[in-house]
Amino acid sequence: MDGNRKILARRLLNVDDARSEAVSRRLNELFPGHAATAGLPFVEHEYLGVPVAPLLAPSDIDAWNQGL
């Protein structure tokens, strides 16, 4: 998506826009082995105005599952 690429270009490369290859290369440099998901917090932060947080704390998962 062009909007996401522009967000990542601004956050990772300090430019208004960049080719997908440049954004991917930077993600791979910064987050080797996790580039496919590493950009999500940047994009979410832009859209939501807050960083992504888990819906449940790990300590609450068992109680939630038992409640089902």
Mean pLDDT, rounded, for 21-31: 94
Is the Cα torsion angle 36, 42, 46, 47 positive or negative in sign? positive
Give this prediction's pTM: 0.66
pLDDT above 90 coverage of the chain, percent:
50
Give me the pLDDT at residue 29, please: 95
For residues 3 and 23, give the distance between their C-alpha atoms in angstroms, rounded to a whole number: 13
For residues 18 and 14, give the distance between their C-alpha atoms in angstroms, rounded to a whole number: 10
